[in-house]
Amino acid sequence: MKNALKFYIDGQWVDPVVPKRLDVIDPSTEEPFAEISIGGAADVDRAVAAAKRAFASFGRSTKAERLDLMKAVLDVYKRRADEMAAAISQEMGAPLKFARDSQTGIGIAHLAKMIETLEAYEFRHLKGGTLVVREPIGVVGMITPWNWPMNQVTCKVAPALATGCTMVLKPSEISPLSGIIFAEIMDEAGVPAGVFNLVNGDGPSVGEAISRHPDVDMVSFTGSTRAGILVAKAAADTVKRVAQELGGKSANILLPDVDLERAVTQGVAGCFGNSGQSCNAPTRMFVPRDRHDEAVAIARTAAAAFKVGDPQAPGTNLGPVVSQVQYDKIQGLIEKGIAEGAELVIGGPGRPEGLNRGYYVRPTVFGGVTPDMTIAREEIFGPVLSILTYKDEDEVVALANDTVYGLASYVQSADLERARRVAALMRSGNVYINYPAWDAGAPFGGYKQSGNGREYAEFGLEDFTEIKGIVGYEAA
């Protein structure tokens, strides 16, 4: 990749101010396969200055001009989709088909949905004699994670472009190549110089510099709750807006009337998707107390059907987790589950049989989990499911909400009205009833320590705007 050692600033591929390199590790082999440059505060200064200059004109662009630009970005993105998928598969371990259909495809979906949203959206309306205007917030710093690289890049960049913001993106240094390809896409699509800038680096060197920068008007961050707190503290001195999508420990409530075979099987698939590396994964499965053993047997069969292995191999549906750090964390939590007395149904510590290298985790199910256990409370971020029980609806609602997180909840029932009633009681930003299809138009974000602000469609678009009231716009 010709631009791997450069940053994209002010419409040009440039060298870092201070040369410093970092290996990019293939999680399936544990070996470096590429190098990137790591930036610092001086690189952020250059990028923010370019974005600030560009905002003077791009912030006044017309909706029609921005629509044309976004359509051009989408066209180039589609042309380079196979290349994007290959990069994502190698840098974060997603099976190739999943990398193409889901990881890369979700970027297409976000761009297309934001184009549709912008076409219908009105930035101005009269409220009596006052004109209420939504204007671009300005320069936005974007800090994105490794687990869904294009989901988080496009669901931030698309609304920023739609509103007329300019931006500085720091992708994860663990999965940076997809971000570099995205910068090339923006360049090829003709995005004006300075509107989009990319600086690679880690959190302490680049993320903190973006968060603290006085000329950054907003930071949009996706990542762990721990890192989100650091971003918010760094941003506080300049009183900028901070939008955060953070961790989760999502409950999956299986009400007594469900088809248990179907509900458990789909719940296991939802938990294990992307090797369990999704912040909204349904990792806590609640089943009626008298059906625990039946649910455990179904979950064992469902988990055994997952093929773990080389992301490039046909038939693989679980690749490695992303890094040694993640692997070690997951192994520690699996061992903690065993030590605290949970029933190990399938899986457990170590790599799957036949795999002696790569950050591969055995698909793991625990039964007999109690709410006080570590595996029921901490975000594991791996293919590990905890099955808990409840006696009645009131208890399961209380147990599901008994978490510092509030990103997502799942409710399964044959009675839609009952599912809706339980959904209304969930303290989470999203509730999914009966495993629905993903919706690019639904608001996405969390309650409590899962963050603040909302992404996707008009909800994301409005997060990137300021509201101005022009009083006396219409004469009385």
- Domain of residue 76, CATH code: 3.40.605.10
Mention every residue, 6+ apart, whose C-beta is less than 8 A from residue 167.
51, 139, 140, 141, 142, 156, 157, 160, 195, 196, 197
Over the chain, what is the mean pLDDT?
98
413 secondary structure, DSSP code: -
Does one domain contain both 263 and 188? no
Mention every residue, 6+ apart, whose C-beta is less than 8 A from residue 97.
none
- One-letter amino acid at 444 equals F
Does one domain contain both 268 and 352? yes
Does one domain contain both 217 and 162? yes
Does one domain contain both 280 and 414? yes
Residue 423 lies in a domain: yes
Does one domain contain both 73 and 156? yes
Does one domain contain both 260 and 157? no
| Backbone region of residue 201 per phi and psi (left: phi > 0; alpha: psi in -120 to 50; beta: other values) | left
Residue 1 lies in a domain: no
Work out the pLDDT band at 146, boundaries 50, 70, 90.
very high
Does one domain contain both 300 and 320? yes
Does one domain contain both 259 and 216? no
Q: How many domains does the chain have?
A: 2
Residue 444 lies in a domain: no
Does one domain contain both 262 and 189? no
Residue 258: CATH number of its domain: 3.40.309.10
Residue 445 lies in a domain: no
Residue 2 lies in a domain: no
Number of residues in the chain: 476
pLDDT digits (tens, 9 = 90+) for 311-344: 999 999 999 999 999 999 999 999 999 999 999 9
Q: Is the pTM of this model over 0.85?
A: yes
Residue 220 lies in a domain: yes
Q: Which residues have a catalytic role annotated? A: 245, 279
Does one domain contain both 277 and 197? no
Per the CB < 8 A criterion, the answer to whether 370 and 351 are in contact is: no
Residue 224 structural domain: 7-246+450-470
Residue 370 has, within 13 A of its CA and on its CB side, a CA count of 6
pLDDT digits (tens, 9 = 90+) for 76-129: 999 999 999 999 999 999 999 999 999 999 999 999 999 999 999 999 999 999
Does one domain contain both 127 and 143? yes
Residue 230 lies in a domain: yes
Residue 370 lies in a domain: yes
Tell me the chain's radius of gyration from C-alpha atoms: 23
What is the b/e burial string over 171-210, where b = at least 16 CB atoms within 10 angstroms of the residue's CB?
A: bbbbbbbbbbbbbbbbbebebbebbbbbbbbbbebbbbbb
